[in-house]
A and B are shown apart, each in its own frame.
Chain A
Amino acid sequence: MSIELHQVSKEFGGVAAVRGVSFRVNDGELVALLGPSGGGKTTVLRMIAGLEAPTAGDIYIRGQRVNDLSVQKRNIGFVFQNYALFGSMTVLKNIAFGLKIKRWGRRRRAERVAELLELLDLCGLENRYPHQLSGGQRQRVAIARALAPQPSVLLLDEPFGAVDAKIRQELREWLVRLHSQLNVTTLFVTHDQEEAMEVAHRIIIFSTGRLEQMGPPREVYDQPANEFVARFIGVMNVFESEVRGGVARAGELEFPAPGRPDGDRLRLGFRPYAVQISADPAAYRYPAILRHAFFLGVVMRLELEMPSGLAVRARITKEEYTQLGLAEDAPVSFQIRQFRVFSRDDAAPAAETAVS
């Protein structure tokens, strides 16, 4: 494995930023560290780089324990959120900086820089200074500079945070392409779940310094380890319910809860995609009014209002929307195909239950 953390913790002045985190990133993998701001993911990245020292625990890079190895000797490539390009150096000198430090010969250096300029589509910008570049170009220079000395791992801190949406999409595609070409083990931090889902092979989800779940995008979406993950990855309707006679009730919604004692309070969740909807008010179990329909491109986001005022979010494709003959402020009916129960202590929830 390329990167391994074993029970790593970090405190800043007595405040825990990272609590007992363990995970592995395999050779050649592209992994996202995902979580809300202040969740400790950047701290984890900086500890792997050696820019912060862990308070407890061990960090291994390529099987070697690096806790006592200085940043300079870890042979990592680090891309900072705000690029951190050297303003007094041209693009060429920025990229060659690490190679000069590592005492590469003039010829090899020139070859390597030319290769990276080509790879990151920076040809023709060699003699520009960073302030003469666009945000996307700066980001690519930062990536080229980090990759130049052939690091054993590439670490990126919110690599697409500071550019606008269109460039961000381009840069994501860059990263994926670059990774499949170079196959360098890559770990990047992001707070954007969509970005993590799109780019990464596996996602590590963080909140308040704890690792909540690690797995392929599909897995964390379909089998969230807890309510936090379920709500962070994708959208989810979550309701507080009370059990009566083996049925959990939240407003008009009823979910089977066999074997649960009366008075038990359960948190239930279901994805907007699990809502089946019809323009016929009597077709499905629950009547509601379609309050708003938001067009999001391929899918429509629908807001349903039940007679008690309970709001339910649903998602369907725009073809389905037309086919079903739905309209805003019209009565509809719906049913819920699957739901899951979140236990109170945030332990792993039961598998999704199908409602028939």
Chain B
Amino acid sequence: MPATRFNPLPGFGLTMGYTLVYVGVIVVLPLAALLVRTLDLTPADFWRLATDPRAMASYRLTFGASLAAAGVNALFGTLLAWVLARYRFPGRGLVDALVDFPFALPTAVAGLTLADLFAAEGWLGRGLAMAGIQVAFTPLGVMVALTFVGLPFVVRTLQPVIEGFDRELEEAAATLGAGRWRTFRSVVAPTLLPAVLTGFALALARAIGEYGSVIFIAGNKPFVSEIAPLLIVIRLEEYDYAGAMALAVVLLAISFLLLITINLLERWSSRFRR
């Protein structure tokens, strides 16, 4: 007698086993190795390395700029997704394809282009410099690069949700006397919010991990425009493995907490679906 319950879909054992091995090897193993290596450090050493003022400045920049960039993308990416999903206009196909560009472009190319564009003599940099705004080699530049790489995540998450949105809901609100703004606020926005949060989380995750496009435009001045991943590389080049590890663990922990928070928010915002 077989001990397992009959399942009409075959292959559960095989696929589940494969999934666990895959996740174990690709995700859990490297993370575990990282944590194990930091055990070589005494808590005091770890704390000293992890809270070094230069490291603290880099965390602030990485997480601050990433949150800001993801926020900007959540707002304008939603707008872009709305336009692409709702309207038919000449050149729509081109705009739609361009959105994917930051996905495909090698990050070094993006970084080089942005640095050139926003440099003091660059096309955009010149104009901005006259207005007293410096982008390249400042935290603002870091944010610009992170916004660039995060955009497709928000747009591509929201587009299908907006396309699937029932227009009758808007008409129903109108027949009940609601104007456009009220309809958007009370009917459309709550429906889109979970997807906006998902897009925000993806853009944020990408921004925290971004390296290539940032280092060109950031100028990498310690305490000012030096991102945490770059500081890890610098530590490694100094053969300071312990220092690099400590930074990595802090990045890992904060990223993990941020993603869990967003996940909970997402769950709360879609509570009406369950």
Contacts and interface: CB of A to CB of B under 8 A. Distances in A.
Closest 10 CB pairs of A and B: A98-B176, A88-B190, A84-B168, A78-B175, A84-B172, A101-B177, A71-B174, A129-B272, A72-B177, A88-B272
20 contacts: A49-B175, A51-B171, A72-B174, A72-B177, A75-B177, A80-B171, A84-B166, A84-B171, A86-B169, A87-B169, A88-B191, A97-B176, A97-B186, A98-B176, A98-B177, A101-B176, A101-B177, A101-B178, A129-B273, A149-B176
Interface string A82-106: 1011111110000001100110000
Contact of B182 (A71, A75, A101, A145): A101
B177 A84 contact: no
B187 interface: yes
Interface residues of B, number: 19
Contacts of A80: 168, 171-172
B106 interface: no
B38 to A, nearest CB: 44
B173 interface: yes
A71 B190 contact: no
A295 B24 CA distance: 66
Interface in B147-175: 166, 168-169, 171-175
A76 interface: yes
Contacts, number: 70
B64 interface: no
Contacts of A51: 171, 174-175
Interface in B168-207: 168-169, 171-179, 182, 186-187, 190-191
Contacts of B273: 87, 129, 131
A76 B273 CA distance: 29
B177 A149 contact: yes
Interface residues of A, number: 29
Q: Which of A71, A72, A131, A146 has the most CB of B within 10 A?
A: A72
A40 interface: no
A82 B179 contact: no
A73 B175 CA distance: 8
Interface in A130-179: 131, 145-146, 149
B227 to A, nearest CB: 38
B188 to A, nearest CB: 10
Contacts of B187: 86, 88
Contact of A97 (B168, B171, B173, B191): B173
A94 B177 CA distance: 13
A71 B168 contact: no
Contacts of A131: 272-273
B77 to A, nearest CB: 21
Looking at A86, A89, A146, the one whose CB has the most chain B CB atoms below 10 A away is: A86
User: Which of B173, B176, B186 has the most chain A CB atoms closer than 10 A to its own CB?
Assistant: B176
B191 A87 contact: yes
A90 B173 CA distance: 15
A77 interface: yes
Nearest to B168: A84
A151 B27 CA distance: 59
A129 B272 CA distance: 6
Contacts of A89: 186, 190, 272
A129 B168 CA distance: 18
Interface in A107-129: 129
Contacts of B190: 88-89
A44 to B, nearest CB: 15
Interface string B236-274: 000000000000000000000000000000000000110
Contacts of B272: 87-90, 129, 131
Contacts of A90: 272
A50 B175 CA distance: 8
B28 to A, nearest CB: 36
Contacts of B182: 101
Contact of B168 (A73, A76, A82, A102): A82
Which of B177, B178, B179 has the most chain A CB atoms closer than 10 A to its own CB? B177
A84 B183 CA distance: 13
Interface in A318-342: none
A72 B179 contact: yes
A149 B175 CA distance: 11
B40 to A, nearest CB: 51
B166 to A, nearest CB: 7
Contacts of A78: 171-172, 175
B104 to A, nearest CB: 35
Given A71-B175, A77-B175, 13 more contacts: A49-B175, A72-B177, A75-B177, A76-B175, A80-B172, A84-B169, A84-B171, A86-B172, A87-B273, A88-B191, A97-B173, A101-B178, A146-B175
B37 to A, nearest CB: 46
B145 to A, nearest CB: 35
B181 to A, nearest CB: 12
Nearest to B270: A88
Contacts of A49: 175
Contacts of A74: 175
A82 B166 contact: yes
Contacts of B179: 72
A143 to B, nearest CB: 12
Nearest to A80: B168
A129 B271 CA distance: 10
A209 B168 CA distance: 23
Contacts of B172: 78, 80, 84-86, 145
A71 B180 CA distance: 11
